[in-house]
Amino acid sequence: MKVAPHRVRPWFVLALLVSVLACIQVGVAHERLQVVAEQSLLQRDVRQVEDEISRMNIELATLMRPDRLRKVAVEKLGMRPPSAMQVVHW
């Protein structure tokens, strides 16, 4: 008794191919959503760092004001303007 060879039907191959492509499409869409979410978090972090830099620049400008530096020099460090004997002229 002879057994007929198993023949792959074209509709089966097409259905399998469509299924594989659909799975790939779902995977790619999922990856894209994850990347967009991560990008959003990174952009938020960048904005927070930029805000912190701005605050620090304002604080630095406040700390470096000449009148404040003069007050710190006199009150905390005991510095005084130089006397005539301490000034060197070239």
For 11-39, the pLDDT digits (tens) are 988 999 999 999 999 999 999 999 999 99
Task: State how far the Cα of 10 lies from the Cα of 16, in Å rounded to an integer.
Answer: 10
Predicted model pTM: 0.59
Q: How confident is the model at residue 45 (pLDDT cuts 50, 70, 90)?
A: very high
Identify the helix (H) or strand (E) that includes residue 86.
none
Kindly report the number of other CB atoms within 10 A of residue 73's CB atom: 13
2 pLDDT higher than 80: no
Please report where in the chains the tokens 């999922």 appear, as a residue: 30
Percent of the chain at pLDDT exceeding 90: 74
pLDDT, mean over the chain: 92
Specify the pLDDT at position 3.
62
